[in-house]
A = this chain, B = another copy of it.
C-alpha cells in the first residue's frame, strides 16, 4: 500500500503525457493547458487509495482516475465560462486565453476523452463503473444549475443548500471512492460505505473551503480572503448567518450583500462573528468528518489498509489553503 504522496506521483507519471491528439492544435492545446495547471489531484488519487484498500494497484484504477480528473477539468472549463472567471490557480482561464468558443469545445472534447477511458477497463466491472460515472456526471450538472438558480433566490435554506453542494461537489469525491472500491473488488456494501465516506468528506471539505475563504490566514491562504463575500456567493456561512440571526441583523446583511462598499468584507465578517458562524462551521465540519469516518469504519478491510485514507481526511481538514 502507498501513501497519498506516492500514489499522487504514480498518477502524475500516468497523466503527465499529453492526453490528446496533436490536431486540431488550437482545440487540444486549450484542453491540455488546464491539465498542465496542476492541482492537488485529490479526486484521482482517492480512486487509487480506495482501490488499494482491497487489492494491489491495478492499471484500471489509473484509467478510472484519469476519467475522473478529465471530467473534473471539463467542469472547471465550463464553470469558468459561466462565471466569466479571468483566473484559475493564478493563471489565465482557458476561455480568457483561447476564447469562449474554443474553451467550450475543449470542455466538450475533454468529457468525451473521459468517457474513452472506460473502453480500456476490464469488462468485469466496466459497466458498473460507467453507470456510476454517468449518474455522477448528471448530478454535477444538476448541482451547477441549482447553484445558478440560488443566485437569484433570497430564501435558500440550509437543507436545500446542502443538497446543492452535495450534487455540485461531493458526489464526485463519493464516486471516486466507490469506483476505486469497485475496481479493487470490494463488496457492494463496502462500495456503498466508501461512497457515503466520500460524500460526507466532500461536504466537510466544502465547509472548510468556505471557512478558509472567510476566516483563513491571509499569509497562508494563497487567495484574497473574503472573495466569496465580495462576490456575494452563497456559502454555508452566509446561509447559516441569514437563518440564525434577528430580523435587524438579517436586513443589514442583505443590504451589505447588495452594496459594493470597500468596507463590505469586514462588515459581513463582523456579523458572521457576532452570529458565531465561525464556531458553527468548525462544528459542522467536525460532524460531517465524523460521519465520513464512521462509514470508513464500516468498510470491511484490515485496519492498516485504512490508514492512508485517514491521513487524507486529516490532510484535507487541516489544510490552510
Contact = CB atoms under 8 A, between A and B. Distances in A.
Interface of A: 23-24, 26-27, 78, 81-82, 100-102, 104-105, 107-109, 111-113, 115-116, 118-119, 123, 126-127, 130-131, 134, 137-138, 141-142, 144-146, 148-149
B148 A101 contact: yes
24 contacts: A23-B142, A24-B146, A26-B149, A78-B105, A78-B108, A82-B100, A82-B105, A101-B148, A102-B148, A104-B104, A105-B144, A105-B148, A107-B108, A108-B108, A111-B111, A111-B112, A112-B137, A113-B138, A115-B134, A115-B137, A119-B127, A119-B130, A123-B123, A126-B127
Contacts of A115: 115, 130, 134, 137
Tally of this chain's copies = 2
Contacts of A24: 142, 145-146, 149
Contacts of A27: 141-142, 145
Contacts of A116: 134, 138
- Secondary structure at chain A's binding surface: helix, strand, loop or mixed? helix
A112 B134 CA distance: 6
Given A101-B148, A112-B134, 10 more contacts: A24-B149, A26-B145, A27-B142, A82-B105, A105-B144, A105-B148, A109-B142, A116-B138, A119-B130, A123-B127
Contacts of A81: 104
Nearest to A112: B137
Closest 5 CB pairs between A and B? A27-B145, A82-B101, A109-B141, A24-B145, A112-B137
Contacts of A146: 24
Contacts of A23: 142
A130 B108 CA distance: 17
A39 to B, nearest CB: 21
Contacts of A108: 78, 107-108, 111, 141
A104 B78 contact: yes
A147 to B, nearest CB: 10
A23 B163 CA distance: 13
A240 B295 CA distance: 66
Contacts of A141: 27, 105, 108-109, 112
A23 B144 CA distance: 12
Nearest to A75: B108
A112 B127 contact: no
Contacts of A127: 119, 123, 126
A111 to B, nearest CB: 6
